[in-house]
């Protein structure tokens, strides 16, 4: 585009917005050139690590979880676009699923930073300063679940025995699988980790679930007339990566730090981590209609 045409295009842009183009052109004269460190907010990003102890590897622990939250945000970036898309196509879905599978695979591989990249003895000491904080309290993880699938798919077999017919969103969240990590169903007592988490996010979770009802990725897939084998394969891959492979890697890492020497230590949030982290207990599936009865029966079991 020639220089005069660019200036005319800029002027027309602001005229169409009902603004005076001259004001914006004058502002452009004063604007500083953009640079990498300001655009990426590098200094702010690198200042967000606030260790609570003098153990060097605590900074690795913080950085790792911050990176994880950024990857979860990448997942949500793609997932929200799928949910908001009115006329969904296979090509669009396949592009998004390729990205989701790539991000999730990187999350799975990144757990080696936690498992093999920190001092076992240091972590065993500094972790006590983190209570009652827990990765369980990651809200983005829950948002992903809500956007991806109907609430009924987030209720495990024990929860289904408790829940009534035609439950409300509020009732679903009373019996959702992750609540068992911090709630004694017999006494009704909650851990502080769960209480604080619900206090901050539960209303938001319920509100979001009502907003996306009928528009989750699962429901959009069900509405497709004849999904191709390629699309089905990528959906199954995402379901397995996120709901089986990643929880199992998380569980193995927890076992490394909490039980590898037979200590059977409690998680910082007080959860029954051996049970809670296993996908056989969680039974979370985003797209259950894509799995046959035998696959669901043996969910998360090693293939022979």
> Is 200 within 8 Å of 141 (Cβ atoms)?
no
Identify the DSSP state of 242: I
Greatest C-alpha distance within the chain: 75
Beta bridge partners of 183: 190
Angle at 280 between CA 150 and CA 111, to 5 degrees: 95
pLDDT digits (tens, 9 = 90+) for 87-98: 999 999 999 999
Give the number of C-alpha atoms closer than 13 A to the C-alpha of residue 247, restricted to the C-beta side. 25
Q: What is the per-residue DSSP string for 12-39? A: HHHHHTT--HHHHHHHHHHPPPP-HHHH
Q: 208-235: b or e for each residue (b if 16 or more CB lie within 10 Å)? A: bbeebeeebbbeebeeeeeeeeebeebb
Measure the CA–CA gap between 112 and 114, rounded to whole angstroms: 5
Categorize the per-residue pLDDT at 34 as very low, low, confident or very high, splitting at 50, 70 and 90: very high
Global pTM?
0.90
Backbone angles phi and psi of 183, in degrees to 5: -130, 125
Note the pLDDT tens digit of each residue in 104-152: 999 999 988 888 888 888 988 898 899 899 889 999 999 999 999 999 9
What does DSSP assign to residue 190?
Answer: B
Domains of the chain listed by start with CATH number:
3-31 (no CATH), 59-297 (1.20.58)
CA distance linking residue 73 with residue 85, whole number of Å: 18
Helical residues (DSSP H) of 54-191, grouped into ranges: 57-84, 90-116, 120-126, 139-148, 157-162, 169-175
The pLDDT-based confidence of 274 (bands split at 50, 70, 90) is low
Torsion of CA 163, 214, 236, 145, to 10 degrees: -60
């Amino acid at each position: 585009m020639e220089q005069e045409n660019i200036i005319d295009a800029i002027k027309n842009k602001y005229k169409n917005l009902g603004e005076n183009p001259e004001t914006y052109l004058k502002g452009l004269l004063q604007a500083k050139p953009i640079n990498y460190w300001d655009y990426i907010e590098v200094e702010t990003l690198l200042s967000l690590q606030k260790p609570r102890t003098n153990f060097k590897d605590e900074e690795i622990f913080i950085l790792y979880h911050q990176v994880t939250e950024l990857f979860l945000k990448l997942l949500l970036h793609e997932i929200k676009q799928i949910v908001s898309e009115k006329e969904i196509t296979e090509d669009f879905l396949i592009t998004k699923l390729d990205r989701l599978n790539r991000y999730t695979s990187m999350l799975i591989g990144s757990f080696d930073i936690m498992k093999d990249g920190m001092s076992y003895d240091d972590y065993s000491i500094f972790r006590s300063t983190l209570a009652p904080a827990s990765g369980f309290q990651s809200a983005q993880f829950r948002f992903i679940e809500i956007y991806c699938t109907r609430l009924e798919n987030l209720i495990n077999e024990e929860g289904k025995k408790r829940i009534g017919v035609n439950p409300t969103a509020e009732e679903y969240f009373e019996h959702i699988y992750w609540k068992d990590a911090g709630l004694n169903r017999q006494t009704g007592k909650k851990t502080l980790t769960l209480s604080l988490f619900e206090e901050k996010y539960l209303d938001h979770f319920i509100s979001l679930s009502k907003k996306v009802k009928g528009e989750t990725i699962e429901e959009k897939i069900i509405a497709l007339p004849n999904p191709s084998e390629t699309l089905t394969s990528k959906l199954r891959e995402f379901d397995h990566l996120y709901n089986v492979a990643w929880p199992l890697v998380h569980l193995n890492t927890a076992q490394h730090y909490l039980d590898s020497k037979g200590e059977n230590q409690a998680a910082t949030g007080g959860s029954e981590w051996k049970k809670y982290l296993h996908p056989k207990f969680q039974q979370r599936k985003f797209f259950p209609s894509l799995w046959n009865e035998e696959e669901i029966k043996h969910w998360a079991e090693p293939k022979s």
